[in-house]
Amino acid sequence: MITVIKSIFFDLDGTLFLSTPVLHSAYCRGVEEYNEKNEELIEPPSEQEVLGEVGNPVEEIYSNLFPGISENQQEELGRLILEKLLAEIRRKKGILIPGVEKTLRKLKNSFQLALVTNAQRDYMETVVNTYRLDRFLARQLCIQDVKGSSKAIIIEEMLSYFNLSSGQVVMVGDRESDYLAARAAETRFIGCDFGHAEEAELPNGVEKISEFEQLLFHPLLEANIDRK
């Protein structure tokens, strides 16, 4: 018996939205302000180091990028970086992935659409509100909304909320962490070749799309899409 797909869960960074144009500069300016306030000389991470952490829980990100400072210092620095980043997002200096609005509008007619992200709540809500993604999403959850520190737990919480079996859901994401979370939660998975993932980060055999609008014609979804 074939299980009908009823819901699509989306990752945020690299799948619906790219903060790439402003992310590294937000880190640099946040570090600069932190150093001025605390008379310290913390070195800002490189752009490659910052982008390599996208998709990880925030505590893990700051521990990896700033291992030589305490948790309290990391929290203070993180607040400054986030403040800079959110200001740029509100100015629409990030990038909404091409085709997202058109595709979500059509998918909404046939599926419950939801957002699951390891990002902080302020970041998630700023992106969603700035680009009015709430028009298409039935629900959104971030790592701060669940008890735990993995995206698999966020997916499982969303499954419970919608009263769905794992087989009724497709997870769409760009990083290996998204794939592993989907596998842990036993949902289907579609990978994105246009996000933050480096070449060959997603395992061989994972179904991928190279443009967001290709979801409308993906074999896992196409039969259930209302074309009206």
- Please identify, among 61, 90, 119, the residue that sits at the C-terminal boundary of a domain: 90
78 and 110 together in one domain: no
Residue 2 resides in a domain: no
Q: Rounded to an integer, what distance in angstroms lies between the CA atom of residue 208 and that of residue 218?
A: 9
- pLDDT at position 1 is 47
What are 179's two structure tokens?
A: 């794939």
For 71, the enclosing helix (H) or strand (E) is helix 71-90
Which of 90, 125, 150 is at the close of a domain? 90
* Dihedral angle sign, alpha carbons of residues 106, 88, 129, 197: positive
112 and 37, same structural domain? no
Domain boundary among 90, 113, 134: 90
Domain that holds residue 56: 20-90
| Contacts for 76 with CB less than 8 Å, ≥ 6 apart | 34, 38
Indicate whether 65 and 106 sit together in one domain: no
Task: Judge whether 186 lies within some domain.
Answer: yes
Q: What is the SS3 assignment for 191?
A: strand
- Please indicate, yes or no, whether residues 110 and 215 belong to a single structural domain of this protein: yes
Residues 44 and 124 in one domain: no
Picking from 84, 16, 73, the residue whose alpha carbon sits closest to that of residue 50 is 84
Do 57 and 130 lie in one domain? The reply is no
48-58 exposure pattern, b = at least 16 Cβ within 10 A, e = fewer: eebbbbbbbbb
Answer whether residue 126 is part of any domain. Answer: yes
How many structural domains does the chain have?
A: 2
Within this chain, do residues 144 and 176 fall inside the same structural domain, yes or no?
Answer: yes
pTM check: above 0.85: yes
Clarify whether residues 105 and 153 are in a common domain.
yes
Would 145 be classed as within a structural domain? yes
Specify whether 55 is located in the same domain as 100. Answer: no
The enclosing domain of 152 has a CATH number of 3.40.50.1000
If you search the block for the tokens 């409308």, which residue do you land on? 216
Measured from the Cβ of residue 122, the count of other Cβ atoms closer than 10 Å reads: 15
Q: What is the pLDDT of residue 204?
A: 85
Same domain, 122 and 12: yes
- Do 129 and 196 reside in the same domain of the chain? yes
Start-end of H helices in 142-191 = 151-162, 176-185
12 and 121 in a common domain: yes
Reading the chain (228 residues) residue by residue, the pLDDT tens digits are 457 899 999 999 999 999 999 999 999 999 999 999 999 889 999 999 998 888 888 889 999 999 989 999 999 999 999 999 999 999 999 999 999 999 999 999 999 999 999 999 999 999 999 999 999 999 999 999 998 778 999 999 999 999 999 999 999 999 999 999 999 999 999 999 887 777 678 888 898 999 999 999 999 898 777 765
What is the C-alpha separation between 178 and 100, in angstroms, rounded? 18
C-beta of residue 58 within 8 angstroms of C-beta of residue 148: no
Would you say 212 and 192 are in contact if contact means Cβ atoms under 8 Å apart? Answer: yes
